[in-house]
Amino acid sequence: MDWARDWGQDAYGYFMAFTVYGVRQCFRWIRPGEFMMGSPENEPERFGDDWQHPVTLTRGFWLAETAVTQDLWEAVTKENPSGCKGKNRPVETVSWEDCVGFIQTLNDLKPGLDLRLPTEAEWEYACRAGTKDPFSFGRNITPDQVNYDGTMPYAKGKKGKFRNETVDVKSLPVNPWGLYEMHGNVWEWCSDWYGDYSEGEVVDPRGPENGDYRVLRGGSFLNYGMNVRSANRSWNEPGNRYNNFGFRLARGQKEGGA
């Protein structure tokens, strides 16, 4: 592929990477498949997830193995809005509109990239990575696995440390599909407008056609254990910026075609 600097296959599957101004970003191939989106009614500390329902993704897509780093953001924009500074930390304090603008600039710099934000369904599918528990790591988590407020553990779990800041990407364990920090660290913007899930089985969902808020997923370093579950949803106005809002790049399954 013209956009790829390097590519290969490892224990997690296929990967490809591009480089811009000397900064490398690696992507993982996420194969098509089916999963149960949302949380079952008996999931502890469940809230705001709406009903669990079957989703089919008919086309695979590429998803960045990490959130966009400050190094990549600064290479493209020559600015760094982040509060927790570090070139390998995720960029934060970025709005949905900022992210879309960044993606457009990057696509202009590297023709053929065709980057975008992931849909909410793609995001949860990739976060779960074939798992069915509240987390891709199992029924519970620790701060050694996820960057969240460990003083507020999930489902009566053991209390742990609260870092009160982001950590470098790829510094915590990877999920079964080769993706880092899908739980915690920073909330990640998705492409969808926020709204109720459709009832019944859904194929390639993209969310409502319009709305007031955009979807955020994954929880952050400031959130409790229950907020970083695979199914947990959040939302905010597309122009708002907070110090725990970041994003992850996707490629493929564009509007109007593959």
- Sign of the alpha-carbon torsion through 45, 48, 51, 56: negative
Give the residue-averaged pLDDT of 31-49. 93
The structure tokens listed for 139 are 């029924």
Number of CB atoms found within 10 A of residue 255's CB: 7
Of residues 256 and 117, the one with the higher pLDDT is: 117
Looking at the domain assignment, is residue 12 inside a domain?
yes
Residue 1 within a domain = no
Give dist(CA 47, CA 42) in Å, integer.
Answer: 11
Domain count, the chain: 1
Q: pLDDT band at 1, cuts 50/70/90?
A: low
Query: Which has the closest alpha carbon to 123: 136, 141, 105, 137?
Result: 136
The whole-number average pLDDT for the span 97-114 is 95
The CATH number for 137's domain is: 3.90.1580.10
pTM of the entire predicted model: 0.96
Confidence category of residue 256, pLDDT binned at 50, 70, 90: very low
∠ CA 154-165-28, rounded to 5° = 75
103 DSSP β-pair partners: none
* The pLDDT of residue 144: 98
Question: Is 256 within the bounds of a domain?
Answer: no
- At 10 the three-state DSSP class reads strand
Question: DSSP letter at 74?
Answer: H
The secondary structure of 200-217 as a DSSP string is: S-EES----S--S-EEEE
191's enclosing H/E stretch is strand 187-193
pLDDT in tens, 203-240: 999 999 999 999 999 999 999 999 999 999 999 999 99
User: Do 42 and 188 form a contact (C-beta atoms < 8 A)?
Assistant: no
In a domain, 190, yes or no: yes
Distance CA 96, CA 17 (A): 24
Task: Please provide the size of the chain in residues.
Answer: 258
Instruction: Tell me if 258 is assigned to some domain.
Output: no
Q: How far, CA to CA in Å, does 40 sit from each of 182, 194, 232?
A: 20, 20, 12
Give the largest CA-CA distance in the chain.
49
In a domain, 66, yes or no: yes
> What pLDDT was estimated at residue 4?
82
The sheet carrying 53-57 orders its strands as 33-37, 53-57, 202-203
> 149: which strand partners?
162
What is the domain extent for residue 43?
6-251
pLDDT per position as a tens digit, 165-187? 999 999 999 999 999 999 999 99
Count CA within 13 A, CB hemisphere, residue 162. Answer: 11
- 233 within domain boundaries: yes
- Asked if residue 151 belongs to a domain, the reply is yes
User: How many Cα neighbours within 13 Å face the side chain of 158?
Assistant: 6
> Looking at this protein, which amino acid is placed at residue 191?
S
